[in-house]
Structure 1
């Protein structure tokens, strides 16, 4: 967080542009990229960590919008066409799973950790489940969280017969 704050304040001090598009692209490329780097490994779970990370984006949206005190945070995000950082974390998690399912890497087999549900009901079509693990350390494992997230998204967004780009566009529209 501290390096993201440093870059954020560097932008605020040194960039004298009145165009919010320029400032937004600087924020996305320099600050948000630091906050989302390897988010699959360190995604925050405590509320205080989530709040700390969201505070950085709150401050930048105040800076980007011309009249920040008239708009609340949600309206500023809508105005700037940005997602809250935690939604962006969730989106990246789902996209990681989709990418691993569509084109599996050589050194990582995702199907060791998750599998598709084989129940015969209509609602279980396309749902994921976590493969059973005996150790207690697996209880808070990354794939447990991602499977819950995957199963909350409607199945037409997660049609694996489509291309990765199409699924990504549908997910951005969903979030």
Structure 2
């Protein structure tokens, strides 16, 4: 899809290229990303490299010595990995608050009350697994991220407020 956009918008304005990437290419990279979220460094870098190529295309800067990280910062694009993490946390919020037809009681167990500083009534017990395939699936991975969020973020009343707080926290 990025190749199609490159061929057809070669001489167009910067804003048009950026809008084309955000509306045509990025949805392909983020489609069902909550489910297929890659966990190996190799897979993560393959997906991130597409966004890095898009940054070069949008800025029309293909010089080898130019920093793509600087281009991404100038474009104010967050990494696709952090966007996938935020999407997973938002889905977890919706599951927790019964806004989606997934019963959290089937998959999650609330943390047992303790006197440790990490206890919060909205946190879940970590899911242990010996099998790597399950360890990096949605629930075990997202429970770890969920439990690392501050308690005031977990207690936010609306999904929109939670989404903004997660974006600021990640």
Bin the TM-score by the shorter chain. 0.7 to 0.9
CA distance in structure 1 between the partners assigned to 2:127 and 2:41 by the alignment: 28
C-alpha distance in 2, partners of 1:44/1:53?
9
Deviations 1:136-173 (A, max 9, x none): 5744442111111112223322224x211111111112
Paired residue for 1:167, among 144, 162, 165? 162
Structure 1 segments unaligned to the other structure (5+ residues): 1-6
Structure 1 residue 111 corresponds to structure 2 residue 105: yes
- Match 2:118 to one of 123, 138, 142: 123
Q: CA deviation at 1:67?
A: 4.6
CA distance in 2, matches of 1:14, 1:25: 13
The alignment yields a C-alpha RMSD, in angstroms, of 2.4
In structure 1, the residue matched to 2:12 is 17
Q: Any idea what the Cα deviations from partners look like across 1:38-64, whole Å, max 9, x if unmatched? A: 112211112211111111000001122
Contact 1:112–1:131 (8 Å) recurs in 2: no
CA gap of 1:75–1:157, structure 2 versus 1, over 3 A, is farther
Deviations 1:71-125 (A, max 9, x none): 523322221111111111111111110112223333x212321233132333211
DSSP-derived class of the 1:127 partner:
coil
- Number of equivalenced pairs: 165
Q: TM-score, normalised by structure 2?
A: 0.83
Q: Is this contact kept in 2: 1:65–1:76, CA < 8 A?
A: yes
